[in-house]
Chain A
Amino acid sequence: MSLVVAKNLSKTYVSGDIEVQAIRGVDFTIEAASFVSFVGPSGSGKSTLLNMIGCLDPPTTGSLEVAGQDISRISSRDSARFRGDHIGFIFQDFNLIPVLTVFENIEYPLLMVQNWPAEQRQQRVQELLTAVGMEGQENKLPSQISGGQKQRVAVARALASKAKLILADEPTANLDRTTAFKIIDLMKKMRDEFGTSFVFSTHDPKVVENAEIIYTLEDGKFQD
């Protein structure tokens, strides 16, 4: 069964009298343990698509199934729970919680969203710290680590709750070339290790050339 199934998906934003069609009836599927990239220029609709898959923005029309559940008409309360259970996020600006240490940032979804017991949390965070190469840095605050390290922590946090789908919005945009490649490699390694699907929105060629499936968007539609 596909992890994501989108049929005739569209999104229209209304601002006053102006209607903007950000996504115009797209169909696609994403399989488990895949490395998918939505590419396209700014305003092409790739972030909108990612937000819809991530349950952050409901589609205007069409159907969208993620992890076997129709999320196209999900309530905001249920969407929070659904995101906590099934989806991990990696952001362009890392979006770590500044008052929490590296360890606590990774632990956050397990503690505040999924209520894991302390021992299991400890074990899982330790496992992820090792996996992303951040062991020994766990007591540092985000302000005390580099951009690449922050994104490693963000990857670990996204993986913490064992989500099957991780959505990454421009994950390498704020990283230098070497670090960006390291992060891409890390995500691939995590995909291989944990069977997690990574879906990106990007226009970074480094990400694009590493993606296994590429959907190119222009004016809200996929290009052949």
Chain B
Amino acid sequence: MFNIIKMATRNLRRYLRRTLLTSALITLGVVAVLLFVSVSGSFKAMMIGQITDSALGHLQIHKKGYLSSMDNLPLNMNLTHKQLNKVREILDNHEAVESYSMRIKFGAMFSNYNETTNIRLNAIDPDQELKTVPLLGDRFIEGEKEGLLGPGEILVPELIAKGMKVKIGDSIVLVATNKDGSVNGQPFTVRGILEGISGPGGRDGYVGLTDARSLLRMEEQEISEIAIRLTDLGLMGGVFTQLETALAGFKNKMDKPVFEIHTWEKISPFFNITRMIDLMTFFIKIMLVAIVLVSIMNVMIMAVYERINEIGTIAAIGTSPGKILALFLSEGLLLGLLGTAMGVAISLASIATMNITQISFDFGRQKGLLLSPTIGATDVITISLIVIGIAVLGSLQPAWKASRMDPNTALRHV
């Protein structure tokens, strides 16, 4: 085999310019795919991190049917104290659950004493919320983020703060209707102004759970949503299934499930963007395969055509068809290897350069997001193997033709 590889290498050197051009084409394809995978992967990971770590959490548990009514922020679909205890028991005993935060989601009228607007609010326990969505503090545009919230304080989303012209320390009034239909108002002090982020909950205000209960005149502990943070996002699929199974055991009097659990993917529309990115990556990989296949086939068809007489000679001498096949396959393999090696080297250097130069970009209302592309060894190995495999596959037809060539006809070829 070594001798076949040696001959193949020399044959590639013999047509050096063509070899370099073909390898360069493969290199270009590999670089395009690896850079796209790394940049899009980095963008995806960053956006998922932003969404899950500053608003949604990894998983969310609601009362069955809550999510489909979420736009109305219904207060009559909250989880009761008894139901919460059951969920707590499950979550506290699950190793993969790092923390969870209980929220009451409700709508209210926001008044600065001159004007009134409506606002969506999350009532939270600040400690639990920070453990579950640790990047929430980073969304502070103004105000003291240490401790997040105190009693009687509110975090106002940027849009409302600007629209209603409220500043840190201003007093505002929240007026809310409770589930019985009675209206109540309560003054709050603006503690902080939050940057908006894409997706659900990204433009919500925050108040403390105790204040919300007082405002909504809740006599018992009720919760609309439990946001869960896992020790590792990669475990999400498995944990989701386990929790779903555990929660499915709780039925109401009509024998219907009490709880529903969702992953962030189900809740955030950004998941569709991630799927589009995956789809684009897939199509770019298909293009790479096409580039490699066409260029290798083209080169190998030419190589066979130009060397018909030589093929006739080695066949006449007694070289077996298998060895002739191996010779041409090796040339395709080496072309693939060369192009891939150069492509991987250039890609890794480019990724390192991008990380050193710290490229930033804007996404929606978020400004100055830092692009830090990375690529996993699995991606590099997979793409390399695909390219090398396709290079061999592209050589197969010309190599087969060469190996089946009649030596007498080949020797007479001019």
A residues near B (Cβ < 8 Å) are 51, 54, 56-57, 76-77, 80-85, 87, 89, 91, 93, 95, 97-100, 108-109, 111-114, 157, 161
Q: Determine the chain A residues whose CB is within 8 A of the CB of B10 once the complex forms.
A: 99-100
**Which B residues lie within 8 Å of A76 (CB)?**
321, 406
Partner among B4, B11, B316, B321 whose Cβ is within 8 Å of the Cβ of A99: B11
CA distance A102 to B3 in the complex (A): 16
Q: Which residues of B contact A98 (CB under 8 A)?
A: 14, 310
Q: B309 an interface residue at 8 Å Cβ cutoff?
A: yes
Q: Considering the complex, give the chain A residue whose CB is closest to the CB of B327.
A: A112
| Chain A residues positioned under 8 Å from B313 (CB to CB) | 89, 91, 95, 97
**CB-based contact A84/B407 at 8 Å:** no
A112–B325 CA distance with the chains assembled, in angstroms: 13
Chain B, range 368-407, C-beta contacts under 8 Å to A = 406-407
Question: Could you pull out 13 A-B pairs where Cβ atoms are within 8 angstroms?
Answer: A56-B411, A76-B321, A80-B318, A80-B319, A80-B320, A82-B318, A85-B318, A89-B313, A91-B313, A91-B411, A99-B14, A112-B319, A114-B318
The answer to whether A112 touches B3 (Cβ under 8 A) is yes
Contact of A56 with B407 at beta-carbon distance under 8 Å, contacts A97-B314, A99-B14 already known: yes
**A98 to B318 CA separation, bound complex (whole angstroms):** 18
A74 to chain B, nearest CB (A): 13
What number of B residues sit within 8 Å (CB to CB) of A? 24
| Complex CA distance for A109 and B102, rounded to whole angstroms | 80
Asked whether, in the complex, the Cβ of A57 is within 8 Å of the Cβ of B317, the reply is no
Secondary structure type dominating chain B contacts: helix
Are A89 and B316 within 8 A (Cβ)? yes
Measured CA separation A80–B313 after assembly (Å): 11
Minimum CB–CB distance from B348 to chain A (whole Å) comes to 33
CB contacts (< 8 Å) of A87 on chain B: these are 318
Is B162 close to A, CB under 8 A? no
Produce 1/0 per residue, B1-16, CB < 8 A to A: 0011001001101100
Which of A83, A98, A99 is packed against the most chain B CB atoms within 10 Å?
A99
9 nearest A-B pairs in the assembled complex, by CB-CB distance: A84-B318, A99-B10, A56-B408, A95-B313, A113-B318, A83-B318, A57-B408, A89-B316, A109-B317
Chain B 354-369: CB-based contact to A (< 8 A → 1; otherwise 0) = 0000000000000000
Chain B nearest CB from A159 CB (Å) reads 12
* Interface status of B335 (Cβ within 8 A of chain A): no
Q: Which of A51, A81, A111 contacts B3 (CB 8 A)?
A: A111
In the complex, what distance in Å separates the CA atom of A22 from the CA atom of B25?
49
Measured between alpha carbons, how far is A91 from B408 in the docked complex, in Å? 12
By the criterion CB–CB under 8 Å, are B318 and A51 in contact?
A: no
State the CA gap A77–B319 with chains docked (Å): 10
Q: Is the CB of B7 within 8 A of A83?
A: no
